[in-house]
Amino acid sequence: MALYEHIYLARQDVSPQQVEDLTNALTAVLVEGGGKVTKNEYWGLKSLSYRIKKNRKAHYSLLNIDAPAPAVAEMERQMRINEDILRFMTVRVDELEEGPSAMMQKRDRDDDRSDRPGGSRGGFGRDDRGSRPPRRF
Amino acid sequence: MAIKDLTTAQARRPFQRRRKTCPFTGPNAPKIDYKDVRLLQRYVSERGKIVPSRISAVSSLKQRILAQAIKRARFLGIMPYAVG
């Protein structure tokens, strides 16, 4: 079976409990298709960098999946129908990572970098050319 | 003789810059991951554009992987396509 990382974004006005139910429902679809979910991470309600379907925030969930492709395709089909799901992305990986992902570790690393001068985008900002000029044709 | 003089003159330039090396090559190099926003943030400009590898010194293979990771993060709304 193939390994996948799957992230989906749920609408901001659903409750975390509903997101959990949704994850369980999607897991059930995968199990029915002969797969399994090895890790389930809920990242919480995070603000988006830009508006997606009129939403400024979204509930993020990460699933590590070990399932055959038809099961994943069926799950994605159902996600497209569900209006609570704003967006999803499935990435095929060679190996699934153990332990919490970079997103969950982020808070610890914020602390040990706080003593550094400058922002997170220190190095290369000066060389920016600005926005693209309008196209001629 | 004339050729040798020319090469020594080129080597002794007034501004000798240290050769930059790829930050994703070698031991304990960070793993490029589309979920690691703090890492990716260092390779985009203030406007949110991907920094060219000639400035950030990322090797061409790693630059392709890095660009893919940034684009995935953008799709998921955890990084901006454009700022301002």
pLDDT per residue as tens digits for the range B18-59: 777 888 888 888 888 899 888 999 999 989 999 999 888 899
Give the minimum alpha-carbon distance from B20 to chain A in angstroms, rounded to a whole number. Answer: 13
The more confident residue out of A2 and A98 is A2
Burial string for A74-113 (b: 16+ CB within 10 Å, else e) reads ebbeebeeeeebbbbebeeeeeeeeeebbbeeeeeeeeee
pTM, two decimals, is: 0.75
Measuring CA to CA, which residue among A53, A70, A69, A63 is closest to residue A19? A63
pLDDT, average across residues A85-111: 77
- Token digits of residue A120: 């997170």
Q: Residue A126 has which token pair?
A: 């000066």
Minimal CA separation from A94 to chain B, in Å? 13
**Interface ipTM above 0.85:** no
Chain A residues within 8 A (CB-CB) of chain B?
7, 9, 46, 48-50, 52, 58, 60, 62, 87, 89, 91, 101-103, 106, 109-110, 113, 120-125, 127-128, 130-131
For residues B6 and B17, the model is more confident at: B17
pLDDT in tens, A3-37: 999 999 999 999 999 999 999 999 999 999 999 89
> Hey, what amino acid is at A34?
G
Residue-level pLDDT at B13: 63
- CB nearest to B46's CB, from A9, A60, A121: A121
